[in-house]
């Protein structure tokens, strides 16, 4: 064989890096991105309004969130282990920043009894939990499944959305986007 | 106890495959038969170990053992046993376990079948397969351990993915697809062994052709079954959306199909040999890339699995595989020169060459469309997506050209064709194709896509029909056989050729069905009150009532169904439902599909309002859809016919082995 692929030609070995280097770059940069950080059409827009009854039987609505940054957390008692893992993170969030941010839970496809059983088992909470009986709030927020969390600024605008359980690092990142120092 | 057993089995499997890889290399170099036998047995042991691990997982799922994270995430106390068992492949960790079972199963089968044959190649085939299996065991030992435990133990689990438990087809489609994927490691292993031992002659090609066709048939069936599942379950009335997961299955299928064609040229004419090796490498690498893309979360998808370290493992595996395989190929390039000068432009070889170029073009187009969002995000940070219209527009012309070649290739002789031959072979088929297009036009078909496909499919079918009739007639004349006997003997004496023809018939059937169903269907959506009716074509659908009740098989699932009365070419009472699963925020549709030879009636419930009892119903008439599945079955049958063991050839092989 003649040409650049002849025996002994060093040139032909160039093929290996020519194929591998761009492919490797592509695969590894892709890995760095977080697929759970999905774009939501809601980011940058005012939150969809909601109103209803909480687990304690009180009335609560999105108007009660006005003037203070908020974290809206969609969860369910059947969501094991994600919501179980996330629960202490939320308790810690309120213990550290309860004065600066309002946390509100929203049940996804769950019964009040199921939710109460979950809280009895994994720890009672100080923040309200919306019952969301017909799933209307989940639909308005485009929730794919529990747990899912929206960070909302003091003007009621969605700043970021996270799918999957929160960790302390993710909470601090979300709060930082609301201008709250961890 | 049982999950721990599964975990230990995985670790023993890892050790066994690593031992096998080392022993195969040592045995391959020294030729020590005892060492090679122990390597083979270590692979059988690895298969047994992963079978134990799978069994441990299935028992944990059936027992609803929520101390295992995988079970807690993918099972609930109310999950029916069938769906508990198939939850083995419901999520990442379990599907890797299942994948390893199939991969070691294939490896054991090949090593057993060839235990006394191909003594020069087999140690290296074994070493390659053992290393591949070791990788999957290592993934299960570290980043994607299926037996991770959790405390405190939940009383109830999340339940399987709602889509997984909505249709029994989920028990069939993933195993077929995985069997196809994992089987593609065999041609790759033979390709590597041929390069290592410099035995790149026709011997390895004959073996590899057969061992590519087996997983190819399964991959074909898996892809068609997946399209069928998507059609019967997702309620959108379509069957293919160019989703990254779908593309991941199609990419290795395309390169494997190209290989099946190019290997014929390599075997027959001794040309295209470098190319054929490259296709084997590409096919295997694409199965890894497909798994990586769909399982690492690199491609943006709500269904992406993430937070496991599996992505980096796969990325390294892909780079290593490709680096070693390409390096080996380049090192052996001087052995792979063409043995004969290339044929004439108008010859069967060049038809095969064009066929391969087109298959490669489709592969690149789909790979590009799938990876484009990843590239854009890596370069600019912005999120982008490539939609189905782009894929359709780019691939349709290439596909039309491929269909044309399907007719041209088999009719051209090897080496070169004279103008006389061309005119003699193609005049009637071209006239027939044009005639069908004119007839369809006269009957009222105006869309370019179905018209073009009708003409091409007729052309292809007539070319092949002419060929078969000519062969059968000459056999009947020279041997004095009755025409049907002559036809049968002709086909069974040359299974590869006529099996290939049958596969091409299947492709023609599928092409016509896809073109017609994509362009000539109709649909209507209406919101009805009880007693109101909706008409589409010859059908009238009356909405009777809305019923909401828990599912008998799993009371946690609430089904709301619209009961309908259907009148027209098909009639009766039907019910289409939306099901609310406790672990899914969106309701899952349960469309009604009434299938007939000419058209499917597809009825799905889009929304309902319980307070007014209104229901929004979508009705589609999808012509010829059942012929897509039938065409897929014909393709698979054709390939099966081609590889069916030939009694005469087996007798010859036995005689040679005994000599």
Do B455 and B317 fall within a single domain?
no
Is B162 inside any structural domain?
no
Q: What are A66-105's pLDDT values in tens digits?
A: 889 999 999 988 776 678 888 999 999 999 998 999 999 9
- Using a CB-CB distance cutoff of 8 angstroms, which residues of chain A are in contact with residue B157? 78, 80
Do B415 and B488 fall within a single domain?
yes
Binary contact (B298, A27; C-beta < 8 A): yes
If you average pLDDT over residues B114-135, what whole number do you get? 95
Calculate what percentage of chain B has a pLDDT beyond 90. 53
The pLDDT of residue A1 is 39
Q: How far is A14 from chain B (nearest CA, A)?
A: 10
Binary contact (A35, B297; C-beta < 8 A): yes
- B22 Cβ neighbours under 8 A, 6+ residues apart: none
The pLDDT of residue B386 is 75
Is B186 inside any structural domain?
no
Q: Which residue has the higher pLDDT, B345 or B531?
A: B531
The pLDDT of residue B252 is 96
pLDDT for A110 beyond 90: no
Domain boundary among B390, B406, B422: B406
Helix axes B92-113, B2-30, angle to 10 degrees: 40
Is B591 inside any structural domain?
yes
Name which of B154, B319, B326 is nearest A15 (Cβ-Cβ). Answer: B326
Q: Which domain holds residue B416?
A: 407-519+629-658
Name which of A31, A79, A81 is nearest B298 (Cβ-Cβ). Answer: A31
Tell me the sheet residues that pair with B603: B592, B619
Contact yes or no for B2/B59 (Cβ under 8 A): yes
Binary contact (B302, A38; C-beta < 8 A): yes
Number of domains in chain B: 4
Q: What are B555-614's pLDDT values in tens digits?
A: 888 899 999 999 988 889 999 998 888 776 667 888 999 988 989 999 998 888 888 888
SS3 of B567, please?
Answer: strand
The pLDDT of residue A4 is 46
Q: Which residue has the higher pLDDT, B484 or B271?
A: B484
Chain A interface mutation, best of B298, B320, B325, B385, highest count of A Cβ atoms under 10 Å: B298
pLDDT for B36 beyond 80: yes
Q: Tell me how far apart the alpha carbons of residues A28 and A35 are, in angstroms, rounded to a whole number.
A: 14
Mean pLDDT of chain A: 83
Binary contact (B326, A164; C-beta < 8 A): no
Domain boundary among B406, B425, B457: B406
pLDDT for B79 beyond 60: yes
Q: How far is A125 from chain B (nearest CA, A)?
A: 19
Name which of B299, B337, B582 is nearest A78 (Cβ-Cβ). Answer: B582
Q: Tell me how far apart the alpha carbons of residues A75 and A89 are, in angstroms, rounded to a whole number.
A: 13
Do B34 and B68 fall within a single domain?
yes
Is B227 inside any structural domain?
yes
The pLDDT of residue A37 is 56
Q: Are strands B572-580 and B522-528 parallel, antiparallel or unpaired?
A: unpaired
> How wide is the angle at C-alpha B92 spanned by C-alphas B86 and B93, nearest 5°?
85
If you average pLDDT over residues B61-90, what whole number do you get? 90
Do B382 and B480 fall within a single domain?
no
Q: What are the counts of helices (DSSP H) followed by strands (DSSP E) for chain B?
A: 20, 9
If you average pLDDT over residues B177-189, what whole number do you get? 95
Q: How far is B438 from chain A (nearest CA, A)?
A: 48
Is B252 inside any structural domain?
yes
Q: Tell me how far apart the alpha carbons of residues B219 and B176 are, in angstroms, rounded to a whole number.
A: 6
If you average pLDDT over residues B148-168, what whole number do you get? 80
The number of C-alpha atoms within 13 Å of B472 and in the hemisphere containing its C-beta is 17
Q: What are B410-469's pLDDT values in tens digits?
A: 888 887 778 888 888 899 999 999 999 999 999 988 888 899 999 999 999 999 999 899
Binary contact (A25, B378; C-beta < 8 A): yes
Binary contact (A81, B580; C-beta < 8 A): no
Name which of B72, B301, B311 is nearest A31 (Cβ-Cβ). Answer: B311
Name which of B73, B301, B330 is nearest A15 (Cβ-Cβ). Answer: B330
* Residues on A contacting B at a C-beta cutoff of 8 Å: 1, 5, 7, 12-13, 15-16, 19-20, 23-31, 33-36, 38-39, 76, 78-81, 84, 108-110, 121, 135, 138-139, 143-146, 163-164
The pLDDT of residue B652 is 62
Q: Tell me how far apart the alpha carbons of residues B612 and B360 are, in angstroms, rounded to a whole number.
A: 55
Contact yes or no for B102/B62 (Cβ under 8 A): no
Q: Tell me how far apart the alpha carbons of residues B295 and A54 are, in angstroms, rounded to a whole number.
A: 38
Lowest mean per-residue pLDDT among B205-214, B345-354, B503-512, B577-586 = B577-586
The pLDDT of residue A6 is 53
Do B370 and B432 fall within a single domain?
no
Mean pLDDT of chain B: 88
Do B47 and B112 fall within a single domain?
yes
Per-residue buried b or exposed e for B4-41, using 16+ beta carbons within 10 Å of the residue's own CB: eebbebbebbbbbbbbbbbbbbebbeeeeeebbeebbb
- Using a CB-CB distance cutoff of 8 angstroms, which residues of chain A are in contact with residue B66? 80
Q: Is the peptide bond before B378 cis (omega within 30 degrees of 0)?
A: no
Q: What are B623-642's pLDDT values in tens digits?
A: 999 999 999 999 999 999 99
Chain B interface mutation, best of A13, A19, A82, A109, highest count of B Cβ atoms under 10 Å: A109
Name which of A15, A109, A143 is nearest B582 (Cβ-Cβ). Answer: A109
Binary contact (B73, A25; C-beta < 8 A): no
Give residue A181's pLDDT band: very low, low, confident or very high (50, 70, 90). confident
Q: Which residue has the higher pLDDT, B110 or B651?
A: B110
Chain B interface mutation, best of A27, A110, A123, highest count of B Cβ atoms under 10 Å: A27
Q: What are A130-159's pLDDT values in tens digits?
A: 998 887 888 888 887 788 899 999 999 999
Binary contact (A81, B150; C-beta < 8 A): yes
pLDDT for B647 beyond 70: no
The pLDDT of residue A2 is 41
Do B330 and B209 fall within a single domain?
yes
Q: How far is B146 from chain A (nearest CA, A)?
A: 15
Domain boundary among B379, B406, B433: B406
Do B414 and B561 fall within a single domain?
no
Flag whether the ipTM exceeds 0.85.
no
Do B427 and B535 fall within a single domain?
no
C-beta pairs of B360-365 under 8 Å, 24+ apart in sequence: B360/B255, B360/B258, B361/B398, B362/B254, B362/B395, B362/B398, B362/B399, B362/B402, B363/B251, B363/B254, B363/B255, B363/B258, B363/B282, B363/B286, B365/B391, B365/B394, B365/B395, B365/B398
pLDDT for A9 beyond 80: no
Give residue A8's pLDDT band: very low, low, confident or very high (50, 70, 90). low
pLDDT for B498 beyond 70: yes
Calculate what percentage of chain A has a pLDDT beyond 90. 31
If you average pLDDT over residues B336-353, what whole number do you get? 78
A29 → chain B, closest CA residue? B378
Give residue B381's pLDDT band: very low, low, confident or very high (50, 70, 90). low
Is B183 inside any structural domain?
no
Binary contact (B66, A80; C-beta < 8 A): yes
- B388 Cβ neighbours under 8 A, 6+ residues apart: B241, B242
Chain B interface mutation, best of A22, A33, A134, highest count of B Cβ atoms under 10 Å: A33
Is B458 inside any structural domain?
yes
Q: Tell me how far apart the alpha carbons of residues A20 and B228 are, in angstroms, rounded to a whole number.
A: 36
The pLDDT of residue A25 is 82
Contact yes or no for B371/B379 (Cβ under 8 A): no
Query: Which segments of chain A are extended strands (E)?
Result: 51-53, 59-61, 70-75, 102-107, 129-130, 148-152, 158-163
Q: How far is B453 from chain A (nearest CA, A)?
A: 37
Give residue B114's pLDDT band: very low, low, confident or very high (50, 70, 90). very high
Do B536 and B613 fall within a single domain?
yes
Q: What are B243-281's pLDDT values in tens digits?
A: 888 888 999 999 999 999 998 888 888 788 888 999 999
What is the CA B393 to chain-centroid distance, rounded?
Answer: 22
Binary contact (B330, A1; C-beta < 8 A): no
Tell me the sheet residues that pair with B564: B543, B574
B301 → chain A, closest CA residue? A35
SS3 of B580, please?
Answer: strand
- Using a CB-CB distance cutoff of 8 angstroms, which residues of chain B are in contact with residue A28? 312, 315
Q: Tell me how far apart the alpha carbons of residues B268 and B416 are, in angstroms, rounded to a whole number.
A: 14
If you average pLDDT over residues A2-27, what whole number do you get? 72
The pLDDT of residue A35 is 52
Name which of A27, A78, A164 is nearest B315 (Cβ-Cβ). Answer: A27
Binary contact (B306, A34; C-beta < 8 A): yes
Radius of gyration for chain A, computed over Cα atoms and rounded to the nearest angstrom: 23
Give residue B2's pLDDT band: very low, low, confident or very high (50, 70, 90). very high
Do B294 and B432 fall within a single domain?
no
The pLDDT of residue A43 is 83
The pLDDT of residue A75 is 92
Binary contact (B307, A33; C-beta < 8 A): no
Lowest mean per-residue pLDDT among A29-43, B146-160, B168-182 = A29-43
The pLDDT of residue A182 is 75
The pLDDT of residue B585 is 63
pLDDT for B483 beyond 90: no
The pLDDT of residue A76 is 86
Q: What are B294-333's pLDDT values in tens digits?
A: 766 565 543 444 445 777 888 899 999 999 999 999 888 8
B384 → chain A, closest CA residue? A39
Do B308 and B433 fall within a single domain?
no
Binary contact (B298, A23; C-beta < 8 A): no
Is B169 inside any structural domain?
no
């Amino acid at each position: 064989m003649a040409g650049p692929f002849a025996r002994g030609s060093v040139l032909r070995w160039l093929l290996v890096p020519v194929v591998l280097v761009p492919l490797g770059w592509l695969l590894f940069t892709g890995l760095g991105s977080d697929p759970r950080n999905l774009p939501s059409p809601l980011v940058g827009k005012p939150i969809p309004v909601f109103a209803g009854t909480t687990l304690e039987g009180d009335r609560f609505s999105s108007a009660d969130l006005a003037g203070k940054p908020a974290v809206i957390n969609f969860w369910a008692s059947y969501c094991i282990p994600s919501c179980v893992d996330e629960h202490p993170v939320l308790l810690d969030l309120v213990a550290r920043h309860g004065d600066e941010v309002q946390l509100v839970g929203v049940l996804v496809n769950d019964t009040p009894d199921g939710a109460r059983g979950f809280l009895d088992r994994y720890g009672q909470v100080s923040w309200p939990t919306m019952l969301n009986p017909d799933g209307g709030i989940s639909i308005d927020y485009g929730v794919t499944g529990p747990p899912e969390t929206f960070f909302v600024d003091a003007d009621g605008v969605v700043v970021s959305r996270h799918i999957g359980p929160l960790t302390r690092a993710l909470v601090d990142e979300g709060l930082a986007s609301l201008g709250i120092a961890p | 106890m049982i999950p721990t057993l599964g975990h230990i089995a995985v670790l023993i499997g890892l050790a066994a495959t690593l031992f096998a890889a080392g022993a195969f290399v040592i045995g391959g170099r020294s030729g020590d038969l005892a060492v090679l036998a122990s390597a083979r047995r270590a692979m059988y042991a690895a298969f047994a170990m992963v079978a134990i691990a799978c069994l441990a997982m299935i028992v944990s799922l059936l027992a609803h053992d929520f101390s295992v994270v995988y079970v807690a995430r993918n099972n609930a106390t109310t999950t029916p046993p069938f769906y508990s068992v198939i939850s083995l492949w419901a999520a990442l960790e379990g599907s890797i376990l299942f994948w390893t079972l199939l991969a070691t199963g294939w490896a054991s089968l090949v090593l057993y079948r060839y235990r006394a044959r191909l003594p020069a190649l087999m140690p290296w085939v074994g070493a390659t397969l053992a290393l591949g299996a070791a990788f999957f065991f290592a993934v299960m030992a570290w980043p994607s351990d299926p037996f991770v435990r959790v405390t405190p133990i939940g009383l109830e689990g999340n339940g399987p993915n709602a889509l997984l438990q909505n249709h029994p087809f989920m028990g069939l489609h993933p195993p077929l697809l995985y069997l196809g994927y994992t089987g593609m490691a065999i041609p790759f292993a033979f390709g590597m062994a041929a390069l290592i031992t410099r035995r790149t002659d026709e011997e390895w090609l004959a073996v590899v052709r057969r061992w590519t066709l087996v997983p190819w048939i399964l991959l074909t069936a898996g892809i068609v079954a997946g399209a069928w599942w998507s059609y019967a379950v997702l309620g959108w009335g379509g069957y293919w959306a160019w989703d990254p997961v779908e593309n991941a299955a199609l990419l290795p299928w395309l390169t494997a199909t190209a290989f099946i064609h190019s290997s014929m040229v390599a075997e027959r004419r001794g040309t295209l040999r470098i190319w054929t090796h490259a296709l084997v490498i590409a096919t295997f690498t694409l199965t890894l890339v497909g798994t990586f893309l769909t399982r690492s979360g690199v491609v943006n998808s709500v269904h992406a699995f993430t937070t496991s370290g599996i992505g980096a493992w796969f990325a390294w595996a892909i780079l290593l595989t490709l680096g070693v395989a390409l390096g080996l190929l380049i090192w052996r390039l001087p052995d792979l020169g063409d043995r004969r000068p290339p044929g004439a432009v108008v010859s069967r070889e060049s038809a095969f060459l064009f066929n391969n170029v087109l298959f490669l073009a489709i592969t690149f187009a789909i790979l590009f469309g799938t990876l484009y969002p990843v590239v854009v995000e890596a370069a600019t940070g912005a999120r982008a997506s490539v939609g189905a219209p782009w894929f359709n527009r780019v691939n349709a012309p290439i596909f039309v050209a491929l269909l044309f070649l399907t007719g041209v290739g088999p009719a051209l002789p090897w080496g070169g064709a004279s103008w006389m031959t061309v005119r003699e072979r193609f005049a009637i088929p071209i006239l027939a194709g044009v005639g069908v297009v004119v007839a369809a036009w006269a009957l009222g078909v105006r869309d370019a896509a179905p018209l073009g496909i009708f003409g091409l499919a007729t052309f292809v079918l007539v070319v092949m029909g002419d060929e078969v009739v000519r062969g059968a007639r000459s056999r009947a004349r020279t041997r004095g056989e009755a025409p049907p006997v002559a036809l049968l003997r002709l086909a069974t004496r040359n299974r590869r050729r006529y099996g290939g023809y049958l596969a091409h018939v299947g492709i023609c059937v599928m092409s016509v069905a896809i073109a017609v169903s994509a362009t000539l269907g109709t649909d209507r959506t209406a919101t009805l009150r009880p007693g109101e009716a909706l008409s589409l074509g010859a059908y009238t659908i009356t909405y009777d009532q809305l019923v909401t009740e828990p599912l008998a098989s799993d009371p946690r699932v609430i089904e709301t169904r619209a009961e309908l009365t259907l009148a027209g070419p098909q009639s009766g009472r039907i019910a289409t439902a939306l099901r609310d699963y406790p672990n899914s925020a969106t309701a899952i549709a349960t469309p009604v599909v009434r299938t007939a030879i000419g058209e499917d009636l597809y009825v799905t419930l889009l929304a309902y309002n319980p307070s007014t009892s209104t229901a929004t119903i979508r009705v589609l008439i999808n012509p010829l859809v059942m012929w897509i599945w039938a065409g897929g079955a014909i393709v698979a049958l054709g390939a099966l016919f081609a590889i069916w063991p030939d009694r005469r050839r087996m007798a010859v092989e036995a005689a040679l082995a005994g000599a």
